[in-house]
């Protein structure tokens, strides 16, 4: 195995427990590893730090897989996946759609495994993990006993790694669709379609929580996708309007409403740009008892923060004006670069401009099947607040 020797870290730059090695941290590479090759990483003083995979097309040139000596084979994946499975067994309740393996957060950088009923949807995000596809799939089959495995390796990160998209069935002893349930709410997922692996699994606990806390009235579910929040709220008698820019998503939201036997009076959808929709509700002086803002990641790169801040501020400002007295506002950011403290600053700035006061009712985060490893801050990507606005 080719050796990668790190430079002596600059003061404060050492991140113990973090699996990423940036190009700038590397002092010497003892050979010419091909993209995806396994390498042995050691410190400037020669101490073995771990085995990882190499890709010089990426700024994150090495991702460490293990700090123990030993092969990266089926048994390696078995051990990691069994650990991941045990965590879900203990903390994921009342659903048959959840994330089984969450990349770095489960010590398997570049690998996503999601369960939809008896079927697994897998994503290989990096060149190194792609090269380990065979042992990873063997282990997943053994640990999770699926009736089908669908590969959805079509994320934009693959292009940065120099990889083509790969999608389709790895094996199929099941239908092309499944109806999953999330605390009594049903959703139809068609493998290979929709965003991410099919459903925003990371928001599940927040959907349940808001349904518990809303307490009636009218809600506006902005960036509603296929109806996630709205379905939960409407099933508790809240009247909901869902807004999404994608017609296909809204159509599926409608189907989900029917699938759950929710009357049309309680749950409606509109295909619209959120910014335009909020502006016209404001003009009409509409009021809502709950507004949910769950926008897509506006910032994939650090350099795009400024635009994103302006976007969040406009969304928050308009939503605060739409909140009925004592109404609730839930806002989320799923991009790592807009962190909890920045999101709060934007909310405060919007509240000042809108002449509103805020109280935090709940600090929100991604569901337990997307664990946060505090040694890898990037694993804490979805955060939010539930405010009471007055």
Residues classed as catalytic:
334
Output the residue with the shortest Cβ distance to ligand SAH.
228
Q: In the window 313-342, what residues touch ligand SAH (CB under 6 A)?
A: none
Stretch of residues binding ligand SAH (CB under 6 A), selected from 13-21, 22-30, 242-250, 359-367:
242-250
Quick check: 194 binds ligand SAH (CB under 6 A)? no
Least distance to ligand SAH, CB of residue 102, Å: 17
- Integer Cα distance of 65 and 227 in angstroms: 37
Identify the residue among 55, 155, 197, 203 touching ligand SAH (CB under 6 A).
203
Q: How many whole angstroms separate alpha carbon 277 and alpha carbon 283?
A: 10
| Contact status: 246 vs ligand SAH (CB under 6 A) | yes
Beta carbon nearer to ligand SAH, 158 or 256: 256
Determine the 3-state secondary structure of 160 from DSSP. helix
Q: Find the binder of ligand SAH among 124, 144, 150, 200 (CB under 6 A).
A: 200
- Residue of the chain from 244, 267, 293, 383 that contacts ligand SAH (CB under 6 A): 244
Q: Which is nearer to ligand SAH, 108 or 346 (CB)?
A: 346
CB of 249 vs ligand SAH, minimal distance in Å: 5
User: Rule CB under 6 A: is residue 281 a binding residue for ligand SAH?
Assistant: no
Q: Which of 17, 27, 30, 296 binds ligand SAH (CB under 6 A)?
A: 296
Q: According to the binding rule CB under 6 A, does residue 294 interact with ligand SAH?
A: yes
Nearer to ligand SAH, 137 or 224 (CB): 224
Q: How far is 220 from 239, CA to CA, in rounded Å?
A: 9
- Closest by Cα among 241, 304, 325 to 278: 241
Task: Give me the least distance between CB of 269 and ligand SAH, in Å please.
Answer: 11
Q: Is 98 in the site for ligand SAH (CB under 6 A)?
A: no
Among 140, 185, 241, 249, binds ligand SAH (CB under 6 A): 249
Residues 6+ apart with CB under 8 A from 383: 332, 333, 339, 340, 343, 363, 364, 365, 366
In the numeric block, which tokens belong to residue 209? 């929580």
Positive or negative CA dihedral for 375, 376, 378, 380? negative
Is 112 near ligand SAH (CB under 6 A)?
no
The secondary structure of residue 8, as a DSSP letter, is: P
CB of 335 to ligand SAH, least distance (A): 12
The answer to whether 309 and 338 have CB atoms below 8 angstroms apart is: yes
Output the six-digit token pair for 177: 């669709």
In angstroms, give the least distance from the CB of 345 to ligand SAH. 22
The least CB distance from residue 272 to ligand SAH, in Å, is: 7
Whole-angstrom distance, CA of residue 347 vs CA of residue 135: 46
Out of 77, 229, 281, 387, the only residue in the binding site for ligand SAH (CB under 6 A) is 229
What character string, x for contact with ligand SAH (CB under 6 A) and - otherwise, covers 126-165? ----------------------------------------
Give whichever of 6 and 316 is closer to ligand SAH, judged by the CB atom.
Answer: 316
Count, residues near ligand SAH per rule CB under 6 A: 17
Closest CA to 130 of 228, 270, 208, 34: 34
Q: Is 259 in the site for ligand SAH (CB under 6 A)?
A: no
- The closest of 227, 152, 154 to 191, measured between CA atoms, is 152
Q: How far is the CB of 149 from ligand SAH (least distance, A)?
A: 23
Helix (H), strand (E) counts: the chain: 10, 20
Going edge to edge, which strands form the sheet with 26-29? 20-22, 60-66, 48-54, 38-42, 2-6, 26-29
**DSSP states of 170-217:** EEESS-SEEEEEETTEEEEEETT-SSTTSS-GGGHHHHHHHHHHH-SS
CB atoms within 10 A of CB 348: 12
User: First and final CA of the chain: distance in angstroms?
Assistant: 62
Which of 169/336 has CB closer to ligand SAH?
336
Residues that bind ligand SAH (CB under 6 A): 200, 203, 207, 223-225, 228-229, 243-246, 249, 273-274, 294, 296
């Amino acid at each position: 195995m080719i050796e990668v020797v790190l430079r002596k870290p600059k003061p404060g730059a050492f991140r113990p427990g973090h699996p990423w090695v940036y190009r700038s941290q590397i002092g010497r590479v003892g050979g010419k590893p091909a993209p995806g090759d396994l390498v042995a990483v050691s410190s400037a003083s020669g101490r073995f730090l771990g085995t990882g995979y190499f890709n010089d097309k990426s700024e994150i040139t090495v991702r460490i897989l293990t700090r123990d000596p030993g092969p990266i084979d089926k048994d390696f994946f078995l051990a990691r996946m069994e650990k991941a499975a045990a965590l879900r067994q203990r903390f994921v309740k009342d659903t048959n759609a959840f994330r089984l393996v969450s990349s770095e957060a489960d010590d398997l950088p570049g690998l996503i495994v999601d369960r939809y009923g008896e079927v697994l949807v897998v994503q290989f995000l990096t060149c190194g993990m792609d090269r380990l596809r065979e042992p990873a799939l063997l282990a997943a089959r053994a640990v999770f006993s699926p009736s089908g495995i669908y590969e959805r390796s079509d994320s934009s990160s693959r292009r940065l790694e120099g990889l083509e998209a790969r999608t389709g069935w790895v094996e199929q002893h099941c239908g092309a669709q499944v109806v999953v349930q999330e605390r009594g709410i049903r959703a139809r997922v068609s493998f290979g379609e929709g965003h991410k692996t099919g459903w925003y699994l990371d928001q599940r606990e927040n959907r349940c929580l808001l349904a518990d806390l809303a307490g009636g009235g009218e809600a506006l579910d902005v960036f509603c996708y296929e109806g996630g929040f709205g379905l939960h709220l409407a099933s508790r008698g809240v009247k909901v309007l869902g807004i999404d820019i994608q017609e296909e998503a809204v159509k599926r939201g409608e189907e989900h409403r029917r699938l759950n036997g929710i009357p049309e009076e309680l749950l409606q959808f509109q295909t619209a740009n959120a910014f335009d929709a909020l502006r016209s509700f404001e003009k009409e002086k509409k009021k809502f008892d709950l507004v949910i803002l769950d926008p897509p990641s506006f910032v994939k790169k650090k350099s795009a923060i400024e635009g994103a801040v302006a976007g969040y501020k406009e969304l928050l400002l308009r939503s605060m004006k739409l909140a009925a007295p004592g109404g609730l506002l839930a806002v989320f950011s799923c991009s790592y670069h807009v962190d909890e403290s920045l999101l709060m600053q934007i909310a405060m700035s919007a509240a000042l401009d809108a002449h509103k006061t805020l109280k935090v009712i709940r600090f929100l985060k991604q569901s337990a099947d997307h664990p946060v490893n505090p040694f890898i801050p990037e694993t804490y990507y979805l955060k939010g607040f539930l405010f009471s606005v007055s």
